[in-house]
Amino acid sequence: MSDADTLFERIIARELPADIVHETDTTLAFRDIHPQAATHVLVVPKKRYRNVAELAAADPQLLADVIATASKVAELEGLDGNGYRIVFNTDSHAGQTVFHVHAHVLGGEQLGHFGR
């Protein structure tokens, strides 16, 4: 992994602006600037791991924190009544473009199917 700060690390450090939805000691949740659903919030751990597999292997508790924050975001955004999706993209073929693990919380409308 490069030593260069990712976009998300710069948001966590408050070097770049973001519309923050929720924050804990270990996670930060903010609105995606290119939403793919009516509600699209990203949840990132404050400690950088490249992808969800790396995070799960290194720090299962932090992965649990990310999921708990995603669930809290769904509640705060009013998504828990009709349903929502939590998505982790792992590496470039899955569409990951920022290599700092992050969960997408999507909802607020009927969502389509996965894949092509």
The set of catalytic residues is 102
- Residue from 4, 36, 9 nearest 102 by CA: 9
Spatial distance between the Cα atoms of 116 and 104, rounded to a whole number of angstroms:
18
> How many Cβ atoms are within 10 Å of 45's Cβ, its own excluded?
23
Task: Give the CA angle between residues 56, 86, 45 to the nearest 5°.
Answer: 45
Tokens 């828990």 appear where? 80
Instruction: Give the DSSP letter of residue 77.
Output: T
| Pair 35, 104: CB distance under 8 Å | no
